[in-house]
Amino acid sequence: MSRQRQDQLLSVLLRQREWATAASLADVLGVTPRSIRSYVAALNARAPGGDAVESGPAGYRAGPGARDALRVRQPGDSPPRDRLHALVRTLLDVPAGIDVFETAEELHVSEATLEADLARVRSLLEGTELVLERERATVRLRGTETAQRRLLSRLAHDEMDAASFHPETFRTALAGSAVPAEAVGPFKSALVRELGELGYYVNELAISDVLLHIAIAAERVAAGHALEPDPGAPREAVPRVGALIARLAAENFAVNLGAGDSEHLASLVLTRIVAPGKDLPQDVAGSGVDPAVEHAVRAELTRAAEEYQVDLVDEAFVLRLALHVQNLLRRAEESALTRNPLTRSLKSSYPMIFEVAVSIASGLHDRLGTPIHDDEIAYVAMHVGGRLERSRKAESILTATIVCPGYYELHELLRSSVDRSLGSAIEVTSVVTNVDPDWSAFDTDLVLSTIEPGSAGDRFVRIQPFLTDADVERIQQAAARVRRARRLTRLRGELARYFHAGAYVHPLADEGEEAIIRRLGRLLVEAGLIGEDYIENTITRERMSSTAFTDALAVPHALQMTATRTAIAIGVTGGSVAWGEGRVQVVALAAFSESDRAAFQTVFEQLVEVFSERDSVQRIVRRGTSFESFLDELVAVIDG
């Protein structure tokens, strides 16, 4: 039974945080419901309390022991990966080479199994600077020290839980290392503290990668494999940060790093996890940015601001993003991967922000020639999201009328309480003190009343004269319902215009992303809505970053809005199809026209929102066997 499949199931349950049926989980993983039940039994066997997954009439959900079960390693778990890990470490530790027959005996496997493992090692080395040489029964690994460390990092990442910094992940990844896993935590705390004292902001989302590289460097130095110093002059901040890392490595790992290793690790820290803090002068912060990079970033932000009608052009923001892109280029030069544990959640929760980031990344790739992968795009999205957060909050504020029959200053006290508790989300535009107001005349988003409202609806909320915590919670819930209803009403109107009856496929075959894009795109081409170039541009966009924005929905589209008119082709699967690193049940190929630019955000974000709700997805997929039934179910879900 595949441990990988079990872990995938548990990850899905942890993301959903709700009950899910075996059938719906089987669709997501591309297996049978019977397999789901087997995976659940195996997962619960890992947890001491048997509570990794809870079962009930509504199906399954993650239990209290779910996260611990992800980290548990039991005898016999994934032996091929464990053997591969051990084999590569042995090859790295013995430059003279290993004897195939002796190694097979030491690993307690047959010679044929070891030969298969060596074939996997060769596959692992593809695209690296390392080669596997063989002379009769002796096999040796050849390549630079830097390339060997990258290989160790790659193997360690395969063992780590990329979603969190947890001592157990390092204990597994550093098995057999000269660096004790329990020393990594204190090292990290001291590093973050002292970098802060030097005036840097520390990105803790990416720090696990850097800590791993530091631990690998310490291990290799302890084994006598140090890096030579770079003959070129280091960046201004490198010696200072390098000295800090060397001192902390000596204190925590009892390893003395040389000049080459301390410079290398300082460069990693400066390009991956720190940014100049507010106390560093702006001219110092910007001194490391190539003018060509700053020009490219400024040009792409200006273009994206115009295309997506958002406010991105600000000098301080341009500088911050240019610094990030400069570091990204340096990481690319070293083929260094920086992971972002929030990539999936950013994509599903803020699809429009992520799409703006993809567009910026695409433009930077064209201008600077450096490919930008999903995790790096997610960091760009975080920059963009931070810039747009203020304007997004302003747009989300609802207006409210308070109805509070007058008695001394009671209405004034109530308004003050509402402003204090809900001022960031609600703006009180009027206060009515009549006992018999005209309820139908109120045109605000919410009506907060201390007396029984004379009308019914989500926007009317009964509250107490002296605002309580329960009142605040009810108002927040009503505000959320009003916002959602407003968004989905807009979506219903847009979708009625954009869905095309002749561009509906059920069941959609599992034939790969590009084949599915071509199949759905062909239907829009035949309808005269897009050209062949739109299909190719959509495939190009898909290669940059998967458009699977939820566990159920993919929205492939081109970055260029060149459709004759906006249209959406829909493909609904019988179960699920492979898409990116996961599987989806619905594919909506969206073709947008320049004239419908304003509708792009509404359709894009709200379509993702609808298909983020598991119950809604299952209802639509199970019943949407024709275009008419699909549209009926979608409208029914939108209407609630």
Nearest alpha carbon to residue 155 among 174, 171, 168, 141: 174
Would you say residue 166 has pLDDT above 70? Answer: no
Same domain assignment for residues 632 and 537? yes
Residue 587, strand partner residues = 554, 571
Would you say residue 538 has pLDDT above 90? Answer: yes
Same domain assignment for residues 295 and 217? no
Pair 14, 21: CB distance under 8 Å:
no
Q: What is the CATH number of the domain that holds 157?
A: 1.10.1790
Q: Is residue 485 part of a domain?
A: no
Number of domains in the chain: 6
Average pLDDT over residues 384-405: 77
The model's confidence at residue 170, banded by pLDDT at 50, 70 and 90, is low
The model's confidence at residue 356, banded by pLDDT at 50, 70 and 90, is very high
Task: Give residue 285's pLDDT.
Answer: 45
Q: What is the CATH number of the domain that holds 323?
A: 1.10.1790.10
Nearest alpha carbon to residue 636 among 615, 616, 621: 616
Question: For the ranges 374-383, 393-402, 429-438, 478-487, which has the lowest average pLDDT?
Answer: 393-402
Pairing of strands 274-276, 98-99: unpaired
Looking at 280, 314, 329, the residue that finishes a domain is: 280
Give the distance from CA 111 to its chain's centroid.
42
Provide DSSP, 194-246.
HHHHTTEEE-TTSHHHHHHHHHHHHHHHHTT-PPPPPSSPPPTTHHHHHHHHH
Return the ∠ at Cα 378 (arms to 374 and 384), rounded to 5°: 140
Write the CA distances from 46 to 74, 167, 280, 383, 525, integer angstroms.
Answer: 8, 19, 49, 39, 52
Q: Is residue 173 part of a domain?
A: yes
Task: Give residue 277's pLDDT.
Answer: 59
Same domain assignment for residues 134 and 111? yes
Q: Is residue 93 part of a domain?
A: yes
Looking at 37, 71, 105, the residue that finishes a domain is: 71
Alpha-helical runs (H) found in 30-78? 33-46, 66-71
Task: Give residue 30's pLDDT.
Answer: 80
Would you say residue 364 has pLDDT above 90? Answer: yes
| Amino acid present at 344 | R
Same domain assignment for residues 529 and 635? yes
CA dihedral 215→216→219→224, nearest 10 degrees, is -140
Task: Give residue 247's pLDDT.
Answer: 94
Would you say residue 464 has pLDDT above 70? Answer: yes
pLDDT tens, position by position, 239-296: 889 999 999 999 988 889 999 999 888 888 888 877 765 554 444 444 467 899 999 9
Higher pLDDT, 211 or 578: 578
- Helix/strand number for the chain, H first, E second: 26, 15
Same domain assignment for residues 11 and 25? yes
Would you say residue 393 has pLDDT above 60? Answer: no
Alpha-helical runs (H) found in 289-433? 291-308, 315-333, 343-349, 351-368, 374-396, 410-422
pLDDT tens, position by position, 43-61: 888 888 888 899 988 889 9
Same domain assignment for residues 503 and 538? yes
Q: What is the CATH number of the domain that holds 633?
A: 3.40.930.10
How far apart, in whole angstroms, are the C-alpha atoms of residue 256 and residue 598? 59
Average pLDDT over residues 503-530: 94
Q: Is residue 432 part of a domain?
A: yes
Nearest alpha carbon to residue 463 among 453, 455, 454, 625: 453
Task: Give residue 237's pLDDT.
Answer: 81
Q: Is residue 475 part of a domain?
A: no
Average pLDDT over residues 55-74: 81
Same domain assignment for residues 37 and 130? no
Tell me the three state secondary structure of residue 473. helix
How far apart, in whole angstroms, are the C-alpha atoms of residue 153 and residue 173? 9
Tell me the three state secondary structure of residue 100. helix
Write the CA distances from 354 to 372, 381, 535, integer angstroms.
Answer: 13, 5, 21
Domain holding 179, by residue range, is 152-280
CA dihedral 40→42→45→50, nearest 10 degrees, is 0
pLDDT tens, position by position, 82-107: 677 778 888 888 888 899 888 888 87
Would you say residue 216 has pLDDT above 50? Answer: yes
Residue 571, strand partner residues = 505, 587
How far apart, in whole angstroms, are the C-alpha atoms of residue 255 and residue 549? 45
Pair 33, 22: CB distance under 8 Å:
yes
Pair 300, 367: CB distance under 8 Å:
yes
For 554, the enclosing helix (H) or strand (E) is: strand 553-554
Task: Give residue 640's pLDDT.
Answer: 61
Looking at 394, 412, 439, the residue that finishes a domain is: 394
Same domain assignment for residues 181 and 205? yes
Contacts (Cβ under 8 Å, ≥6 apart) of 598: 309
How far apart, in whole angstroms, are the C-alpha atoms of residue 263 and residue 245? 9
DSSP at 132: E
Same domain assignment for residues 388 and 403? no
Task: Give residue 172's pLDDT.
Answer: 52
Same domain assignment for residues 635 and 496? yes
Pairing of strands 98-99, 138-142: antiparallel
pLDDT tens, position by position, 329-354: 877 776 666 777 788 888 888 888 99
Question: For the ranges 32-36, 184-188, 232-236, 565-569, which has the lowest average pLDDT?
Answer: 232-236
Extract the tokens encoding 292: 């060509």
Same domain assignment for residues 276 and 287? no
The model's confidence at residue 509, banded by pLDDT at 50, 70 and 90, is very high
Task: Give residue 280's pLDDT.
Answer: 46
pLDDT tens, position by position, 562-601: 898 888 999 999 888 999 888 999 999 999 888 877 677 7
Q: Is residue 302 part of a domain?
A: yes
Q: What is the CATH number of the domain that holds 44?
A: 1.10.10.10
Q: Is residue 629 part of a domain?
A: yes
Pair 156, 220: CB distance under 8 Å:
no
Task: Give residue 245's pLDDT.
Answer: 92
State the chain's mean pLDDT as an integer.
83
Same domain assignment for residues 516 and 540? yes
